[in-house]
């Protein structure tokens, strides 16, 4: 390296949050909001809450939670020397909270009909890490929930789930299969 050359500056990165990862891993879907309340400045916790709302078809909440996650992540990145338009590497695991938040916010914007906003978010994500959209789609896109039999269903009822565009037919519950007895016979 010559005097005119300088070492490349390390990419900015989000702080690792092992206590948040642990709380999320030990909890269930119902405890995600409590993790956010316990760690309100955590982009990861807010991203998980946004993904949960998205998986339940709650686009407004998903958009709001993902917006908070992305804003908190940007604040952390800027504090580390990042500028808008700089790369944010998927390979650095803490950064995934920011990249996932952008994608969740994009999906919610699409669901809400905010097409221009969704396009800007898709561009921001692609600029941050061009491989991130494919990684998110394969690893983190939440599964849409489909209610097959509702708790209040006492007869036959046909419903349409708009979030997944699947018609479902509910009716008499199917009996559980009989478990084999100790001798292995039915």
Q: Give DSSP secondary structure letters for 136-178.
A: HHHHTPPPPP--SS-TT--S-EEEEETTTTEEEEE-SPPPPPP
Per domain, the residue ranges of the chain are 18-139, 146-186
pLDDT of residue 12: 79
pLDDT of residue 138: 87
pLDDT of residue 145: 39
pLDDT in tens, 125-173: 999 999 999 999 888 655 443 334 434 444 444 443 433 333 333 344 4
Residue 82: strand, helix, or coil: coil
pLDDT in tens, 64-78: 999 999 999 999 999
Range 1-10 average pLDDT: 51
pLDDT of residue 123: 96
159 or 123, which is more confident: 123
Please give the structure tokens belonging to residue 129. 């890490």
pLDDT in tens, 34-43: 999 999 999 9
pTM for the whole structure: 0.71
Q: What share of the chain is helix, strand, coil (3-state, %, to 5)?
A: 50, 5, 45
At residue 88, does pLDDT exceed 80? yes
pLDDT of residue 6: 52
Per CATH, domain 18-139 is 1.25.40.10: yes
Range 96-119 average pLDDT: 97
Q: Do residues 84 and 29 make contact, with C-beta atoms less than 8 angstroms apart?
A: no
């Amino acid at each position: 390296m010559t005097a005119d050359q300088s070492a490349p500056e390390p990419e900015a990165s989000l702080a690792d949050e092992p206590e948040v990862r642990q709380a999320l891993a030990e909890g269930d879907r119902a405890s995600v909001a409590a993790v956010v309340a316990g760690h309100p400045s955590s982009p990861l916790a807010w991203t998980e809450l946004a993904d949960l709302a998205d998986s339940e078809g709650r686009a407004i909440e998903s958009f709001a939670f993902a917006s908070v996650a992305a804003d908190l992540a940007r604040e952390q990145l800027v504090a580390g020397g990042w500028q808008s338009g700089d790369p944010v590497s998927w390979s650095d695991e803490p950064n995934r909270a920011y990249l996932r938040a952008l994608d969740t916010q994009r999906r919610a914007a699409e669901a809400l009909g905010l097409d221009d906003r969704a396009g800007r978010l898709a561009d921001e994500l692609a600029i941050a890490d061009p491989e991130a959209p494919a990684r998110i789609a394969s690893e983190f896109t939440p599964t849409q929930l489909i209610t097959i039999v509702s708790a209040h269903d006492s007869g036959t009822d046909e419903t349409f789930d708009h979030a997944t565009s699947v018609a479902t037919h509910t009716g008499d519950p199917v009996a559980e299969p009989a478990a084999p007895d100790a001798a292995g016979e039915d």
